[in-house]
Amino acid sequence: MKTNFLQKILNTSLAKIILGLITCLATVRLGQFIIQNLLFTNASKDLKALISGLFVSALAIITYQYLYKFYEKREITELSKKGIVKNIAIGAGLGAILQSLTILTIFLSGGYKVVSINPIQFVMPPLIMAFTSAIIEEILLRGIIFRITEEKLGTYAAMAISAALFGAMHLANPHSSVIAGIGLAIQAGLLLAAAYIYTRNLWFPIAIHFAWNFTQSAIFGANVSGNSISKTLITSKITGPEWLTGGLFGPEGSIQATLFCFVATIVLLILSHKQGKVIPPRRRKRDEPLTATPDETGQVIGAELNQ
């Protein structure tokens, strides 16, 4: 009886989310500790950050794959290598375009000025930050929270929940505010979930997330979610009203960033609807067998969890 009860608990959506978050975060923290305190102690700050970023990103991916392959007894198709080049290329292009449009709006208003062009190696710190945060945050937010919630509550409820969590996570950032949090919930929370829905693959939202942050900081020299980067390719000066520039929080806090990303979200959702990739809330009777509907990539996207 105790074994059956424990199995039922472990098979709930909440348990899968909590255990997944704890396991992945613990692995990442352990990886950071090993690199920073046990290995490469004599390396330069930038080199140590690069090695740490690569190491913990790989750990996050491997941990997620093995955990849910064992836990859910399935192939992890959301990290499949099939179509990975296409997903990364299109995602990176979309993220860079959306960020460039955001900065262009500030430039056209006279609020963006280039102070200096720096050596190419200055892109390394923001590059490390961008790919590390993109991989880890997408695995946690889209791979675990959104994916598992969607199986139980449907696409739109999962989008709302994961977007709200993403926005709330950034409220503690420097120079943040409720308005900035809402903007990030729409820009990243909704857009990146829509990107996952459209491809049923994590590489697409990872690429968008990476390119958005990298372009914003490394290329345009702007703050990212309230955090400034000491070394960037372009040293810039951004001035103007906070609703247009985002103020010290960065261009993510601007109205145009939210609008551009929201438009992209709507387009991806329309395409997903046409391809039948939007999942409605599912309920089953107590005696009804579990069913699942595989999408075109072979991933089970409509599997019900034990209640």
Going from N- to C-terminal start, the domains of the chain cover: 1-73, 83-281+290-302
- Angle, helix 191-199 to helix 203-214, in steps of 10 degrees: 150
- pTM score, whole prediction: 0.88
Phi-psi region of 83 (alpha: psi -120 to 50; beta: other; left: phi over 0): left
- Averaged over 127-132, what is the pLDDT? 92
Residues with Cβ within 8 Å of 232's Cβ and at least 6 positions away in sequence, in order, are 118, 122, 123, 126, 217, 218, 219, 220, 221
Residue 287: band (very low, low, confident or very high) from pLDDT cuts 50, 70, 90: very low
> What is the rounded average pLDDT for all residues in the chain?
89
Q: How many CA atoms lie within 13 A of 145 on its CB side?
A: 22
Residues with Cβ within 8 Å of 46's Cβ and at least 6 positions away in sequence, in order, are 124, 125, 128
**Lookup: tokens for 197:** 């829905």
Q: How far apart are CA 79 and CA 201, in angstroms?
A: 6
Cβ atoms of residues 55 and 62 within 8 Å: no
Of 122 and 307, the one with more pLDDT: 122
Q: How far apart are CA 36 and CA 18, in angstroms?
A: 27
> Each residue of 162-203: pLDDT tens digit?
999 999 998 989 999 999 999 999 999 999 999 999 999 999
**Lookup: tokens for 145:** 């929270």
Q: How far apart are CA 245 and CA 178, in angstroms?
A: 16
Cα–Cα–Cα angle for 79, 55, 140, rounded to 5 degrees: 45
